[in-house]
């Protein structure tokens, strides 16, 4: 679809829907409900230091992590907004141990997996965080619909609350980025048809884990350091992947002798962000195969993850193959 900068997200979504005469408009309505919920989150994050939304709730979530106040608020705003559409049979979230089945969602055609506020521990120190979403078609009357391969996502995207608030998403026809204009409260197309550079001289690995990595990972990092690559690591996946989408290079969270299955969750981190990376011409892998071909076995399953520029990823995967 030919797109021009400056159109707002709502019009872009509706124009994209027009390409599918059989479209019922449900997916468009869902994307607009995500847009509205994330505007509320953005507004609260922008003034977090002034209102009582910083700090911890004093509870540990299903991940074994301290729940931040904004985690809980972001989850509640999103789930309430999405449940009210009646379009979701079920909602899964990093913040909820089990899937939620909205009362008015019994005829819902979709299920959605959410990371309401990825990297939330960074909010207190004003580092970028984000909301990540992944949408699949409903194929069952239970939570098995969430356990589909990432390649079957009908839409995936994120909102990054950074120096500006941006929504980046794909329905399988490329990746487009929209910047929130706070003056008018609309997301405006600012980054049409995002394509990853073929190579980027940036590696985003938490190198403090070096001693815990396999020999292959260490060999790759040693290689890129020799080639003069720059290390950039925010410890907020959304920020690291957003930069990778625009500047190239690789974001990775490998398995190590502490996180034996990796740290990143398949359903609401690796799959949606991997979908965008592959839609933008990059590669997203668990080290052995495309992450989008992995069939998850549980809602909060973790995975080793490597995603980024095609040339860099091919070199990494070749080194990992050597063992």
Of 16 and 312, nearer to ligand P6P (C-beta) is 312
Q: Nearest residue by C-beta to ligand P6P?
A: 237
User: What is the distance between the alpha carbons of residues 102 and 86, in angstroms, rounded to a whole number?
Assistant: 7
* Residue 301 binds to ligand P6P (criterion: CB under 6 A): no
Per-residue x/- mask for ligand P6P, residues 263 to 292, rule CB under 6 A?
x-----------------------------
Strands 88-93 and 110-118, bridge-based pairing? parallel
User: Based on CB atoms, which residue is closest to ligand P6P, 71 or 87?
Assistant: 71
Cβ–Cβ contacts within 10 Å for residue 145, how many?
20
Rounding to the nearest 10 degrees, give the CA dihedral for residues 306, 307, 310, 312.
Answer: -50
* Nearest approach, Cβ of residue 307 and ligand P6P (Å): 11
Nearer to ligand P6P, 50 or 258 (CB): 258
Q: How many whole angstroms from its chain centre is CA 35?
A: 15
Question: Closer to ligand P6P at the Cβ: 151 or 300?
Answer: 300
Rounded Cα distance, 110 and 92, in Å: 12
Half-sphere exposure of residue 215: CA atoms within 13 angstroms, side-chain side: 3
Least separation in angstroms between residue 72's CB and ligand P6P is: 16
User: Do residues 130 and 240 touch, judged by C-beta distance below 8 A?
Assistant: no
Q: Which residues touch 144 (CB under 8 Å, ≥6 apart)?
A: none
The answer to whether residue 118 forms part of the interface with ligand P6P (CB under 6 A) is: yes
Site string for ligand P6P, 209-248 (x = CB under 6 A): --------------------------xxx-----------
What's the min distance (Å) between Cβ of 13 and ligand P6P? 27
C-beta of 145 vs 236, nearer to ligand P6P = 236
Q: What is the dihedral of CA 314, 316, 239, 293, to 10 degrees?
A: 60
- 148 or 236: CB nearest ligand P6P: 236
Helices (H) and strands (E) in the chain, counts: 7, 16
* Count of residues engaged in binding ligand P6P, rule: CB under 6 A: 8
* Contact (Cβ atoms closer than 8 angstroms) between residue 269 and residue 298: no
Residue 132 or 320 having the CB closest to ligand P6P: 132
User: Closest CB to ligand P6P among 84 and 214?
Assistant: 214
- Interaction of residue 38 with ligand P6P, rule CB under 6 A: no
Binding mask 176-215 for ligand P6P (x = CB under 6 A): ------------------------------x---------
Element (H, E) at 47: none
Provide, rounded to whole angstroms, the least separation between the CB of residue 8 and ligand P6P: 29
Q: Which of 105, 119, 162, 177 binds ligand P6P (CB under 6 A)?
A: 119
- For 213-271, the DSSP string reads S-HHHHHHHHHHHHTTPEE---S-HHHHHHHHHHH-SEEEE---SSSTT-SEEIIIIIH
In DSSP terms, 44 is beta-bridged to: none
DSSP-derived 3-state class of residue 189: strand
Smaller CB separation from ligand P6P, 60 or 139: 60
Least distance CB 136 / ligand P6P (angstroms): 21
* Positions that interact with ligand P6P (CB under 6 A): 118-119, 206, 235-237, 253, 263
């Amino acid at each position: 679809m030919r797109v021009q900068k400056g159109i707002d997200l709502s019009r872009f979504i509706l124009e994209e829907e027009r390409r599918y005469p059989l479209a019922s408009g449900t997916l468009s309505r869902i994307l607009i409900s995500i847009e509205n919920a994330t505007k509320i989150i953005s507004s609260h994050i922008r003034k977090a230091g002034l209102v009582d939304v910083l700090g911890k709730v004093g509870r540990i979530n299903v991940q074994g992590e301290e729940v931040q106040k904004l985690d809980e608020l972001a989850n509640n705003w999103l789930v309430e907004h999405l449940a009210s559409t009646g379009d979701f049979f079920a909602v899964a979230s990093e913040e909820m141990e089990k899937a939620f089945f909205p009362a008015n969602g019994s005829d819902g055609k979709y299920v959605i997996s959410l990371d309401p506020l990825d990297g939330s521990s960074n909010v207190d120190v004003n580092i970028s965080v984000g909301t990540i979403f992944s949408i699949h078609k409903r194929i069952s009357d239970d939570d098995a619909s969430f356990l589909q391969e990432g390649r079957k996502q009908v839409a995936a995207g994120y909102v990054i609350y950074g120096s500006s608030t941006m929504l980046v998403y794909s329905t399988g026809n490329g990746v487009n980025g929209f910047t929130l204009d706070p003056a008018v409260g609309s997301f405006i197309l600012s980054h049409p048809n995002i394509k990853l550079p073929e190579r980027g001289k940036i590696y985003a690995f938490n190198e403090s884990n070096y001693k815990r990595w396999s020999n292959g990972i260490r060999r790759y990092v040693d290689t890129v350091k020799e080639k003069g690559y720059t290390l950039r690591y925010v410890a907020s996946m959304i920020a690291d992947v957003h930069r990778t989408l625009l500047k190239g290079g690789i974001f990775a969270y490998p398995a190590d002798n502490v996180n034996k299955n990796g740290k990143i969750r398949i359903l609401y981190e690796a799959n949606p962000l991997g979908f965008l990376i592959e839609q933008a011409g990059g590669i997203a892998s668990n080290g052995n195969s495309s992450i989008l071909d992995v069939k998850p076995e549980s809602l909060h399953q973790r995975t080793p993850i490597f995603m980024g520029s095609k040339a860099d990823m091919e070199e990494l995967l070749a080194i990992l193959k050597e063992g």
